[in-house]
C-alpha cells in the first residue's frame, strides 16, 4: 500500500482511504470512525437538522455535519473527490452520494 492511501496518521480505525474498489470495507470503517467522533447520527441522517436555523442546536448540528464532511473528504482518494465536491459542505450529502454511487441494492451485487 502506498503512503498516500495510509489513513493511520489520522488516529482513526481506517486502514485505507476509499478508492475505486474498496467501498464495502471502507464504509464500515468510516462508520466506526464517525461513531467514535460522535458524528454518525448526523451523517447517517438519523438526527435531522433542527428547523430553527437560529438555534444553538442547529449550529451544533451544522458543526457536526461539517466535521463529518471533512473526515469523509480526507479519507477518500483524490480520484474520488470530483464525485463529492458538489457536496463538500455537507457530510450527510457526501455520505449519500458515495452510497448511491458504490452500493448496489440488487441481487446481482451479492454474487
**64 class by beta-carbon count within 10 Å (0-12 exposed, 13-18 middle, 19+ buried):** buried
56-100 confidence digits (pLDDT tens): 999 999 999 999 999 999 999 999 999 998 878 899 999 999 999
- Give the tens place of pLDDT for each residue, 26-46: 999 999 999 999 999 999 999
Amino acid at each position: 500500500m502506498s503512503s498516500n492511501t495510509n489513513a493511520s496518521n489520522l488516529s482513526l480505525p481506517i486502514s485505507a482511504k476509499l478508492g475505486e474498489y474498496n467501498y464495502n470495507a471502507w464504509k464500515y470503517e468510516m462508520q466506526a470512525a464517525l461513531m467514535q467522533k460522535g458524528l454518525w447520527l448526523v451523517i447517517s441522517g438519523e438526527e435531522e437538522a433542527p428547523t430553527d436555523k437560529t438555534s444553538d442546536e442547529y449550529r451544533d448540528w451544522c458543526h457536526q455535519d461539517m466535521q463529518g464532511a471533512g473526515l469523509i473528504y480526507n479519507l477518500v482518494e483524490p480520484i474520488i473527490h470530483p464525485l463529492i465536491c458538489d457536496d463538500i459542505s455537507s457530510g450527510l450529502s457526501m455520505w449519500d452520494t458515495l452510497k448511491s454511487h458504490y452500493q448496489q441494492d440488487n441481487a446481482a451485487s451479492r454474487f
